Chain A
Amino acid sequence: MNERLEAAARLLPDYLSQHVLVSASALCLGLVISLPLAVAASRSPTVRWPSLFAASLVQTIPSLALLALFYPLLLAISHATKSLFGVSFPALGFLPSLLALTLYSMLPILRNTVAGLMGVDPAALEAADGMGMTATQKLARVELPLAAPVIMAGVRTAAVWTIGAATLATPVGQTSLGNYIFLGLQTEDWVFVLFGCAAAAVLALAVDQCLGLIEAGLADRRPGRIAAGAAALAIGALAALSPLYAAPGRPGYVIGAKNFSEQYILAQLMARRIAAAGGEARLKEDLGSATAYRALAAGEIDAYVDYSGTLWTNVLKRSDNPGREAMLAILARALKARDGVLLLGPLGFENAYAFAMRPDRARQLGVASLDDLARVAPSLTLGADLEFLVRPEWRAVQRAYGLSFRRAVAYQPTFMYRALASGQVDVISAFSSDGRIAADHLVLLTDPRHAIPPYDAVILVSPRRAHDARLISALKPLVGAIPLSIMQQANLSVDRATGKATPGQAAAALDARIARHGKAPL
């Protein structure tokens, strides 16, 4: 437990600084946009209703979806500016998070500023006019000071919302306190999840208290309180951001990872290799399955591990199965030609979709293959990960075996295994390299009709690093070096309930093992 807390605490400076950077930037941008808009809205109903409606509409979009939607949007804009002006920008990470969170912060600021300005005593306004103030003077000297407490209350709400929603920026590649939560959720590390929640809550409360002090100071016209609140905010922000200016300009390599344990471990492993070769590497974790490849092709990440079958169906949009070797060869040629992406080679293990059952249940029903399963499926419940049920592999399996379940339920992978163990579901779409298969003695059903393509783990390198000798020579030794059992052990060390390792520790162990044994035979 203490070890877990220490591991979490070591990550805090990086996560907290990134979290503060993105949420403070979003809040400032939100203020810069919302305040003038609110002034215009308080003056004219034709601005007021559309802007308040739009801001309310944004709030109805789940914040995770809002963050996710900015990725394709920015990618399209980036492509357009690239072809028009030769300028492109990263569509992952800071920018989409900033924009989504900015939109998210606008409603409370907008709504309170409009209410505050419209609630100013009409007699004060008449006096201001009667004394000969211009519209700008009236705004600066009378309206804004009188509306300030109400505006600050809105800013407080916006700050708390933004800090909370920033934890959801992790899946679009922006490091935040959400990394604890997403990582903890994937690796069943509840210490990490709680640590992330607590850190975000403490941050939100602290900021809220400082802003509250400013709000009270504005309401009671006590400049001392305003200054104290502002100073506390400024000092806190500078302290939280200090790891950012201590870090060098952060060039180096960016290693991507999708959102599960194996990916975290392999990304850490690649980062270790690069560091050992004298390079600088940082991670971009929790990328979506399709996002990761596009981010690589766009050069936003430099390398990551994907799986041949996933690339085959998702990128090449093919549904046939030419066999393992042919698929790798075709992929290497096609990805190069299509996007300039380098397929460095397979790591030596496969992480395939595999239908898994508890041994007692499989025996009881007499199921050993997918053909057997199809017989009894109409009375069984399938547990799947969040994307399996919409993936082409599932359709291929359904077609090949005529599979049809009584019910299919989608879970976070961690909970999928739990649901199988507790008997809530009868079959799951497991991952063959998952350590929990061996640990729980799960039965993998055979696929006699070869409906599921092979899923060899392969290292992909971005077009702009395809000829980077240092990167290639650092990663090349990993090709063919990780047999399935070794990967399963590494995954289990991170996923198991007790004596857990962090992905970084698992990567170190894996690295040491590769160094001892050299290349394992494929």
Chain B
Amino acid sequence: MAGAAKRWAGAAVGPVDLELAEGEFVALLGASGSGKTTTLKMVNRLAPPDAGKILVAGEDTGALPAYALRRKIGYVFQEIGLFPHLTVADNIAVGPRLAGWDKARIAARTAELLGLVALPVDLGSRLPAELSGGQRQRVGLARALAAAPKIMLMDEPFGALDPVTRAALADEYRALHLRLKLSTLMVTHDVPEALLMADRIIVMEGGVIVAQGTPADLFADGYAGPARSLMEAPRAQARRLAELSQGPPH
């Protein structure tokens, strides 16, 4: 992504330069309105950029029809957007159907994906309204992975879940990312989530990148860059948690 930018009346994002290496997990971190979601959506052209150039696997995204580009990229967002009139299995099968897979392959793939996101296979015949929030987001994840994309775009994927479910799903996704050799770009405003999941963190503010580095770099005691204030609260929490793990004071 080179110099990608989008402007509206009174607001603008970019120019943003960003590279996601194969197999890399990058978190876009920032407060609400910092431009991280727009940056993510410029990649799959849900927010087509007004300037700059975005390449996916060496191909200019502006040269492809948007639907063809999007079929190569997995997309998960906070509201999930499961299709309420389709069963879980049919929701997962949407991508493969668009790609024109045959019936047997789709059925096998659906079962495989339910297992991959740790859902029982008999859930496939349910409607989304019958599921819990965590189950729904697992289905959303399975649906995004169904057509076997190599790139995943995730926009606050676990934002609406309770903390326990959220931590479990974050762990599971991190494992999937490694196992399926995905390249993931994830938007979050949750600093510990970014620290724990990503290989690299990009901090955005006012529509531009203000800092980036590995979680270890940004979280290190000596770090004094622009994202320092973001790290203060998790650092204090970490210290307190470490104290607690030492047992009660004498």
Q: Which residues of A contact B (CB under 8 A)?
A: 121, 123-134, 137, 141-142, 145-146, 221
Task: Mark B59-78 against chain A: 1 for CB-CB distance below 8 A, else 0.
Answer: 00000001111110001010
Chain B: minimal CB distance from A125 (Å):
8
Cα distance A142–B98 when bound, in Å?
13
Q: A129-B46, A221-B127 are in contact. List 9 more A-B contacts (CB 8 A).
A: A121-B84, A123-B80, A124-B83, A126-B81, A128-B81, A130-B44, A131-B71, A131-B94, A141-B94
Chain B: minimal CB distance from A221 (Å):
6
Which residues of the partner chain B approach A125 to less than 8 Å between Cβ atoms? Answer: 81
Determine if B85 and A145 form an interchain contact, defined as CB atoms under 8 angstroms apart. yes
Determine if A132 and B68 form an interchain contact, defined as CB atoms under 8 angstroms apart. yes
Determine if B71 and A132 form an interchain contact, defined as CB atoms under 8 angstroms apart. yes
* 21 A–B pairs (Cβ distance < 8 Å), ordered by A: A124-B82, A127-B140, A128-B83, A129-B46, A130-B44, A130-B70, A131-B75, A131-B95, A131-B143, A132-B69, A132-B70, A132-B98, A133-B98, A137-B98, A141-B83, A142-B83, A145-B85, A146-B84, A146-B85, A221-B85, A221-B127
Determine if B67 and A133 form an interchain contact, defined as CB atoms under 8 angstroms apart. yes
Chain B: residues with Cβ within 8 Å of the partner, total of: 24
Cα distance A137–B70 when bound, in Å?
14
Cα distance A433–B83 when bound, in Å?
72
Which residues of the partner chain A approach B83 to less than 8 Å between Cβ atoms? Answer: 124, 127-128, 141-142, 146
B79 on the interface (CB 8 Å rule)?
A: yes
Determine if B81 and A123 form an interchain contact, defined as CB atoms under 8 angstroms apart. yes
Cα distance A133–B143 when bound, in Å?
14
Q: Which 6 A-B pairs have the closest CB atoms?
A: A127-B81, A132-B70, A123-B81, A130-B75, A132-B71, A123-B79
Determine if A126 and B79 form an interchain contact, defined as CB atoms under 8 angstroms apart. yes
Cα distance A123–B127 when bound, in Å?
16
Which residues of the partner chain B approach A142 to less than 8 Å between Cβ atoms? Answer: 83
Q: Choose from A124, A131, A137 the contact partner of B84 (Cβ within 8 Å).
A: A124
Which residues of the partner chain B approach A127 to less than 8 Å between Cβ atoms? Answer: 75, 77, 80-83, 140, 143
For B77, give the chain A residue with the smallest CB separation: A126
For A126, A127, A131, A221, the residue with the greatest tally of chain B CB atoms inside 10 Å of its CB is A131
Which residues of the partner chain B approach A221 to less than 8 Å between Cβ atoms? Answer: 85, 127
Determine if B127 and A130 form an interchain contact, defined as CB atoms under 8 angstroms apart. no
Which residues of the partner chain A approach B80 to less than 8 Å between Cβ atoms? Answer: 123, 127
Determine if B98 and A129 form an interchain contact, defined as CB atoms under 8 angstroms apart. no
For B76, give the chain A residue with the smallest CB separation: A130
Cα distance A125–B46 when bound, in Å?
11
Which residues of the partner chain B approach A145 to less than 8 Å between Cβ atoms? Answer: 85
Chain A: minimal CB distance from B14 (Å):
21
Chain A: minimal CB distance from B185 (Å):
14
Determine if B81 and A121 form an interchain contact, defined as CB atoms under 8 angstroms apart. yes
Cα distance A121–B83 when bound, in Å?
9
For A121, A129, A137, the residue with the greatest tally of chain B CB atoms inside 10 Å of its CB is A129
For A146, give the chain B residue with the smallest CB separation: B85
Cα distance A141–B143 when bound, in Å?
15
B71-107 contacts to A (CB < 8 Å): 71, 75, 77, 79-85, 94-95, 98
Cα distance A141–B98 when bound, in Å?
11
Which residues of the partner chain A approach B68 to less than 8 Å between Cβ atoms? Answer: 132
Which residues of the partner chain A approach B95 to less than 8 Å between Cβ atoms? Answer: 131-132
Determine if A129 and B70 form an interchain contact, defined as CB atoms under 8 angstroms apart. yes
For A125, give the chain B residue with the smallest CB separation: B81
Known contacts A129-B70, A130-B70, A132-B69, A124 near B98 by CB under 8 Å: no
Cα distance A142–B77 when bound, in Å?
18
Determine if B70 and A131 form an interchain contact, defined as CB atoms under 8 angstroms apart. yes
Cα distance A137–B75 when bound, in Å?
18
Determine if B77 and A130 form an interchain contact, defined as CB atoms under 8 angstroms apart. yes
Which residues of the partner chain B approach A123 to less than 8 Å between Cβ atoms? Answer: 77, 79-81
